[in-house]
Chain A
Amino acid sequence: MNNILLVINREYTQRVRKKGFIFTTLLMPVVMLALMFAPALLSGIGSAPEAITVVDNSGKIAPYLIDHYSLPYVISPLPVDSLRTDTDVNTFLVIGEDIIENPTSVSLYHRGGGSIETETLIKDDIKNAIEARRLEDLQLGNLKELLGEVEADVVISSHKIDNQGNESSSNSLTSYLIGIAMSFILYMFIIIYGQLVMMSIIEEKNNRVLEIIVTSIKPTHLMLGKIIGIGAVAITQVIIWALLIAGFITFVLPGIAGDQMFAELAALKAGTLNPADATTDFGVLQVMAMLSSLSYIFSIFGYLILFLIGGFMLYASLYAAIGASVDNAQDGAQLQVFCIVPVIVGLMFAMTIGQNPDSSLATILSMIPFTAPMIMMSRIPAGVPAGEIISSLAILYVSIVAIIWFTAKIYRVGIFMYGKKPNLKELIKWARYK
């Protein structure tokens, strides 16, 4: 037992003292905060929208085209042939004479790459224009006015409530983004720190330090000590990040935000803010509203640590078995596919599931230990029933015991095997050794 502590202590202190560790630990929160606010801030900047030149041969569509902010239409009297060679015009739209009867006679020309978004927008606009024109041609009198009266603008205001019916301020887009960010952090930590475990084992195996250590400590204990020591480094990093972000929100944010923004933030929290009146970008406000709640931040990071411990232990023990079965980093890199693929599958499902956190697919994947950490972290910011969190964690932690039991057996045999890279059959054989 004492020797496990010595191994943990060595792994931990050797790593946290490294300059690289200190540097990334301090720098990453800055990058994370920048990433959170960047989309909202960037959308305000944008470049000047480029106009679409329209050649309307039918003369029936142009009056119905309504400019978009990002996509104004310019009606051109010039013939198509001259536009083709006019390098000032990058994108132009040619509408056929029989457009009302034949909606397919539309062509879009662009120099360089076209944008799917632009194409979709134009398609919708022309569709609306044709429909409006056809309605008019039917000459049903004041149909347009009638339709206007019937039309309903639906705005959903979403409220999250718990089982007691208490409402909490939440924005599903923001929780989605936070969830994705958390999944991504998990993915990064599991892969990066898992690889550290693998590399550290390969190193010990190659320089034969291992043979000296195993005279004093059981291989299984050595493996556990290594995983726990390196895991502790990861946890340290997450805790420092949580504290840095909390510090930023408490001390730095009030300084840069300004009174106007705070008033709007308060209004948003109280539910009295009309998005149209806000001077600050509504997206930024929503992110701020969530982030400025310290208890929210700490609970998210709390869950992150629980799932990080679980996910890391699970994958790190696989990485340990891989490290023990190979002689060099190249062979290790090939075998680590077995770790990377499930983590990435988890992350990819997390991205889709984040949009629909209560689907049954979400629940199932939350109960599979290999995907559970990423999936759960993408769902938790939007709120998941406590029972589901507990059972997901329970399954995860029980599987860790089973996986470690299995991988320790491979590790124990593998660390003394040199030469040929073993195949799966041999690995299973190793695990069966007494």
Chain B
Amino acid sequence: MDIVKADHVSKQFVGHKALDDVSLAVPEGSIYGLLGPNGAGKTTLLRIINHITAPDSGTVYFCGHQLTQADVNSIGYLPEERGLYKKMKVGEQAMFFARLKGMSKHDASAQLHQWFEKFGITEWWNKKVEELSKGMAQKVQFIITVLHNPKLLIFDEPFSGFDPINAKLLKDEILELRKNGATIIFSTHNMSSVETLCDEITLINKSHNILSGNVNEIRHRFGADRYQFTFAGDERSLLAAFGDRVVSNISSDRNEDGNTRMTLRFAPGTSLHDIIATANDTVALSSFSADLPSMDEIFITSVENNNRKS
């Protein structure tokens, strides 16, 4: 079942269209990546799913019914630019946000103390936020976001500004949350995190949804007819041997041991047997594999193609 479904959502701001007829579906229990260049409309979409702003047209469904204010208590939101009240004490502040989310005083206090212990930050309870370092504040913010055990977690650029240690902590927590049954949507520019974490993605460019689907499927789709060769020999003679069966030379570089590693895209329908035979005849092939494009490549290719079209 889809926990969130956006149906033909559009949103217009003074002078520009932030979202134009965007649809997507987030399966329950998945980790869903929302990708796109800066200013594509990701944050606007996340705000709409959070019931912060309403779409001009289109509908957002939550667990099968139309999203209402009450559903927001089942959502945890970590905004892109994270903020806390600087002059307020950490514990009081966490209690305030927990109670706003509808938790009772007792539950909020018990759960907060658990989390603070888990992160090893119990001694911060009575510190003011302004006394904390950025990384410390991010931990507090994260706890506030997940405290009320929301079914759906929305992280806007969760990795920006995190040091590698905190980023790993966050990754582990995201996986842990999913294991416990939560669905996670996050927007990011960090493509390696998409490859390691996301089940599905949507790529938004210039307020349109230009690519949606399962990460593996997408990578295989973009990776069709792409092969990587590692060999000793002359790369030009190999290219010459393939002739016009090669559509593009994606990359080629020399390893430390003197071997060349080359990634090529072939014309659709080129037989695998044929490729291996040609390569074997021309150079001393040491490895051969199908090549999956990185999400980085997919992102850049899709966005550039889309920009060219429009």
B-side contacts of A3, CB under 8 Å: 100
Interface check A213, CB cutoff 8 A: yes
A85 interface contact, C-beta 8 A: no
Asked if residues A216 and B52 are in contact (CB atoms below 8 Å), the reply is no
Given A6-B100, A10-B96, A416-B53, A215 contacting B72 (CB threshold 8 A): yes
> For the side of the interface on A, what is the size category?
20 to 34
A6/B81 in contact, CB under 8 A: no
| B83-91, B185-193, B246-254 - the one binding chain A | B83-91
Asked if B144 and A14 make an inter-chain contact with CB atoms under 8 angstroms apart, the answer reads no
Q: Which of A70-78, A156-164, A204-212 contacts the other chain?
A: A204-212
Contact with B along A381-392 (1 / 0, CB 8 A): 000000000000
> Cβ of A10: which chain B residues have Cβ within 8 Å of it?
88, 96
Q: Judge whether B14 and A214 touch: CB under 8 Å.
A: no
From 390 to 434 in chain A, residues with beta carbon under 8 angstroms from any chain B beta carbon are 416, 426, 429
Q: B69 at the A/B interface (Cβ < 8 Å)?
A: yes
- Cα A429 to Cα B50 with chains together (Å): 24
Shortest distance between the CB of B140 and any CB in chain A (Å):
12
| Complex alpha-carbon distance, A6 and B96, angstroms | 7
What's the minimum C-beta distance from B60 to chain A, rounded to whole angstroms? 14
The residue on A at minimum CB distance from B99 is A6
Is A218 part of the contact surface with B, judged by Cβ < 8 Å? yes
Residues from chain A with a CB closer than 8 A to the CB of B101 are 216
A14 to B83, CA, bound (A): 17
Q: Write out, one digit per residue, whether chain B residues 48-91 have a CB within 8 A of any chain A CB (1) or not (0).
A: 00111100000000000000010011010101111111111000
Please give me the residue from chain A that is nearest to B84 by CB atom. Answer: A209
Question: Residues of B contacting A206 with CB < 8 Å?
Answer: 83
In the complex, residue of chain B having the shortest beta-carbon distance to the beta carbon of A213: B100
A219's nearest neighbour on chain B, judged by CB, is B52
B35 to chain A, nearest CB (A): 21
Q: A217 interface residue, CB < 8 Å from B?
A: yes
Chain A contacts with B in 250-302, Cβ cutoff 8 A:
none
| Contact A216/B72 with A6-B99, A207-B86, A211-B52 known, Cβ cut-off 8 Å | yes
B204 to chain A, nearest CB (A): 19
Contact among A203, A208, A215 for B82, CB-based, below 8 A: A208
Are A214 and B84 neighbours in the complex by a CB distance under 8 Å? no
In Å, the complex CA distance between A216 and B87 comes to 21
The answer, among B80, B81, B100, for a CB contact under 8 Å with A216, is B100
Q: Determine the chain A residues whose CB is within 8 A of the CB of B82 once the complex forms.
A: 208
Chain B residues near A426 (CB-CB < 8 A): 14
Inter-subunit contact A212/B144 (CB<8 Å) = yes
Roughly how many angstroms separate A10 CA and B93 CA in the complex, as a whole number? Answer: 9
Nearest chain A CB to B131 CB, angstrom units: 15
The CA of A216 and the CA of B14, in the complex, are separated in Å by 26
Q: Which residues of A contact B97 (CB under 8 A)?
A: 212-213, 216
Chain A residues lying within 8 Å of B51, measured Cβ to Cβ, are 215
Name B residues whose Cβ lies closer than 8 Å to a Cβ of A.
14, 47, 50-53, 69, 72-73, 75, 77, 79-88, 96-97, 99-102, 144-145
Give 9 nearest A-B pairs by CB, closest first. Answer: A207-B83, A208-B83, A216-B100, A211-B79, A208-B81, A209-B83, A215-B77, A215-B50, A215-B72
Since A204-B83, A215-B77 are in contact, a sample of 7 more A-B pairs with Cβ atoms closer than 8 Å, ordered by chain A residue number, is: A10-B88, A14-B85, A208-B83, A211-B47, A211-B77, A215-B51, A215-B52
User: Footprint of B on A, CB under 8 Å?
Assistant: 3, 6, 10, 14, 203-204, 206-218, 416, 426, 429
What are 17 A-B contacts with C-beta separation under 8 Å?
A6-B96, A14-B85, A14-B87, A203-B85, A203-B86, A204-B85, A207-B84, A207-B85, A208-B83, A211-B47, A211-B79, A212-B97, A215-B52, A216-B72, A216-B102, A416-B53, A426-B14
